[in-house]
Structure 1
Amino acid sequence: MEKLSFDSFTKKIYVKASLEKLYWCWATTEGISSWFLRKAVYTNESNQVRNSREHIQAGDSYIWEWHNWDGQEKGTVLQANGSNFIEILFADPSKVSVTLEDQGTAVLVTLKQYDIPTDEKSMLDIHHGCSNGWTFWLANLKAYLEHGVLLNETEFDLRDIPLAGYQFVNM
């Protein structure tokens, strides 16, 4: 058994959808904005914004914005193989990788966040916060692809609630 630690975590979920559809959900502006983000912008190494249906590539930069949060996440695409693997710099200096494995009737989605600093703030904000967040967002991805529903809150504005990100399960 792997040892649990505060410098990384892994989340897995089976999703009944094609490998191609799941990769589209992670690797295009249109896809990632359909279930996860309010807005995403990917810029290639020549500083040109990628078309919303174009796959991201290693070296791209991104800016992500969520519903109910005024901040932005900025990072770099470290790897994107065009079919089943993506790795990004996320919550710098940590990294997130997404691996998609076809299991016949479903795809196993494995998300790993690692290289998380182990100071108290990072353990709370990145390890605890992101671990909880990714658990919800992977369930949201499954609900979206298998049932056509989104579970994240878009109707009520939660931004003025100081602890909303720690209390609401569908941020």
Structure 2
Amino acid sequence: MKNWDTFTKKILINKPIEEVYRCWSTKSKIETWFLEKANFTSNNGQREPDELVQKGDKFYWKWNNWDITEKGEILEANGKDSIAFTFGSGGNVHIRLKPMSSNTEITLVQNEIPTDENSKMNIYVGCITGWTFWLTNLKAYLEYGITLHSKGLKQEDTTDLVNS
């Protein structure tokens, strides 16, 4: 029987673990390959663009080309190989990094996904497809210095684009 409340995606990236971690844990890097806008705040105020997020930080994210924003919380951030965050109605996302030769293996687990029929398609299928692209985009950025996503489009212009 299919388990609709969790999935795992993995990818190898030919970069050091520290560099990969920064791409998940700083405003300046996450805005390069994943989000249009990201703000992280601690109890002491807004984090600097290159400052690592910490457990308990709150975030505000704006998606590229979509009039959708996400507010959430950093659930875990150990500064080296593990970060987790809430993911709206989609549950939680956990990122684990592991060195493998000259590569870093990223394991992404999204869990606590609702299992009603609408969530199976819109969250489970939508997110598993989305993360496949965004992990590939991160690889392209780190290994080749390019990003594959379209930027600056209106939401209505992104219909059927696999890179938006």
Which residue of structure 1 aligns with residue 24 of structure 2?
Answer: 26
Where in structure 1 are there 5+ consecutive unaligned residues? none
Larger strand fraction of residues? 2
Q: Does 1:87 pair with 2:80?
A: no
Q: Does 1:145 pair with 2:142?
A: yes
Structure 2 counterpart of 1:115, from 99, 107, 112? 112
Q: Does 1:159 pair with 2:152?
A: no
- 1:126 is displaced (CA, Å) by 1.2
- 1:96 is displaced (CA, Å) by 0.1
Contact 1:75 1:92 in 2 (8 A): no
Counterparts in 2 of 1:35 and 1:113: CA distance versus 1, 3 Å:
same
User: What amino acid is the match of 2:22?
Assistant: W
Q: Does 1:63 pair with 2:60?
A: yes
Q: What SS does the corresponding residue of 2:50 show, helix, strand or coil?
A: coil
Where in structure 2 are there 5+ consecutive unaligned residues? none
- 1:4 is displaced (CA, Å) by 4.6
User: What amino acid is the match of 1:82?
Assistant: G
- 1:154 is displaced (CA, Å) by 1.3
Contact 1:6 1:116 in 2 (8 A): yes
Which residue of structure 2 aligns with residue 105 of structure 1?
Answer: 102
- 1:158 is displaced (CA, Å) by 4.4
Contact 2:39 2:46 in 1 (8 A): yes
Distance 1:101 1:91 in 2: 26
CA RMSD, Structure 1 to Structure 2 (Å)? 1.5
Kindly provide the CA deviation profile for residues 112-138 of structure 1, in whole angstroms up to 9, marking residues without a partner as x. 000001012211221111111100000
Identity %: 41
Distance 2:5 2:23 in 1: 27
Contact 2:137 2:147 in 1 (8 A): yes
Poorly superposed stretches of 4+, deviation over 3 Å: none
- 1:160 is displaced (CA, Å) by 1.5
Structure 1 counterpart of 2:37, from 36, 39, 50? 39
- 1:23 is displaced (CA, Å) by 0.5
Report the count of equivalent residues. Answer: 164
Contact 2:90 2:123 in 1 (8 A): no
